Structure 1
């Protein structure tokens, strides 16, 4: 199933990439979620070597460049996204290294090299969470930081009907699923919050912070207004899960 999903997802992302140009990059962690200036999970990135897992159009790497990171590395499954990111990052002050590759594989990234690895709304696309987290652990220096965000596992399990939340699927059910808000055939993975946390621990990470807050300012409401991530639903449950962890050592 893993390889089939990768082929399907690569085709889907190559087709829809323009729709996601610059969508929710750092300093944003997700729709109606707190931003980096609120959370300060990355700290001072000046002088840091950073790696973006699922780098998309490159806007989060552009943000890292603006904050003084010394090396910009990115991995993305989509050829279209990598080409877009290369174009966007042509004027970067820091050197850029981009790889068209699934996150489950190492396309030639150096080991024990990076100060920070992060992934913004991409980790749920992995077909093998344990392998992906193992790879990230291998890429980081001892003491290095890994920060990721993804749609909160509860969010797609419940629908807002009037003023009530109606659960349409069991929270305990994990594995591959087709996301109803995705307009092209694609397979994502559903995991519980505990699965993300326990996988990080099993792979040698220390959990530093777990964030399930929402940000419901007028600006957030206007920027993220759509049928899937609504202000009304976000008042009742988080849209986004954000976890900061550290490689032991």
Structure 2
């Protein structure tokens, strides 16, 4: 529980204070439950990161923290500890001269989303399936008062804590991460904006998932949904076989028209598609910080418009809807 002490205090001091009816018990259960075998090692890496002043901070395309003077030994220590937290999926980051070139250029996704969300000033913002938290920092850049990430991935949690470790205290106090899934959240009805990016197609029941997202929004809140889609009419939904682009946990990929229909059925209003594009291999690729297979390995080598299984290659859309 000490791991989340400051985050629980932040909950108590926020419009989300009613979450405390359930959250501490959930975190206690998580702490006692079976955890990833590497979690202790990952958290030890975070604890061993050197304390350096955050004299230059940028929450731009590359989330960056720098000190005026960093000794070579400190930089090597940072690099060595952070490399023990591989694979790094979402980023990029630069921490005191150490460049974390992540598998995904998550800034590309943010560039497609940001023009359509406007100013987040004063908002309580939730990111469901936030991964290492890259987009949480971009949401703070856009003015959010507090950002809250939930994701069950324990390596992601360690990566987020590593990034937050280097941030100035004022930013640390505004960014929070809990090892939960959306199904673990009560109907908080408290967030001004809820983001869910790259999660819907991993859910066995997409309608339940959309309903759970809606339950987190305040009366006038909005959903920012980014997900895989296929071309087609309102009745088009791809249900892959065992894998899609070598991913085993892909269940439903709708057309944008079908997805808009789903959102309407779930009670959302004014849903609109604000961006749709094919994912390029420059956006998702193997790097020194993620050395496994990536998008180029998932596509048909003779026809990049198809996955290795013969399905349409990844196409992603951004949809904004009102609660």
Contact 1:153 1:190 in 2 (8 A): no
Call closer, same or farther: CA 1:94–1:215 in 2, change over 3 Å.
Answer: farther
Q: 1:190 aligns with which of 252, 276, 289?
A: 252
Unaligned stretches of 5+ in structure 2?
A: 1-34, 40-84, 92-102, 286-294, 307-311
Measured against aligned partners, the alpha-carbon deviations of 1:181-230 in whole angstroms (never above 9, x if no partner) come to 34xxx3122232244222211221013321453389xxx77445752579
**TM-score with structure 2 setting the length:** 0.54
Q: 1:28 aligns with which of 92, 108, 119?
A: 108
Q: 2:156 aligns with which of 81, 95, 105?
A: 81
2:239 is the alignment partner of 1:174: yes
Q: 1:201 aligns with which of 251, 264, 267?
A: 264
Q: 2:225 aligns with which of 141, 148, 162?
A: 148
Which deviates more from structure 2 when the two are superposed, residues 222-231 or residues 114-123? 222-231
Contact 1:69 1:94 in 2 (8 A): no
Tell me the matched-pair count.
206
Larger radius of gyration: 2
Greater relative contact order structure (CA < 8 Å, 6+ sep): 1
| Match in the other structure for 1:134 | 211
CA distance in 2: counterparts of 1:211 and 1:238, whole angstroms: 17
Q: CA deviation at 1:83?
A: 2.3
Measured against aligned partners, the alpha-carbon deviations of 1:5-54 in whole angstroms (never above 9, x if no partner) come to xxxxx98xx9x972413254765338xxx6235xx221101111100011
Alignment of structure 1 residues 203-242 onto 2, 5 Å: 203-214=266-277, 222-224=282-284, 226-227=295-296, 228=298, 233=305, 239-242=315-318
Q: 2:138 aligns with which of 39, 51, 63?
A: 63
Measured against aligned partners, the alpha-carbon deviations of 1:150-175 in whole angstroms (never above 9, x if no partner) come to 122359xxxxxxxxxxxxxxx54437
Which deviates more from structure 2 when the two are superposed, residues 117-126 or residues 83-92? 83-92
CA distance in 1: counterparts of 2:299 and 2:274, whole angstroms: 17
| Match in the other structure for 1:166 | none
Q: CA deviation at 1:60?
A: 0.3
Unaligned stretches of 5+ in structure 1?
A: 1-9, 156-170
SS of the residue aligned with 2:163?
A: helix
SS of the residue aligned with 2:251?
A: strand
Runs of 4+ aligned structure 1 residues displaced above 6 Å come to 229-232
**TM-score with structure 1 setting the length:** 0.67
Cα root mean square deviation, aligned:
3.6
SS of the residue aligned with 1:188?
A: coil
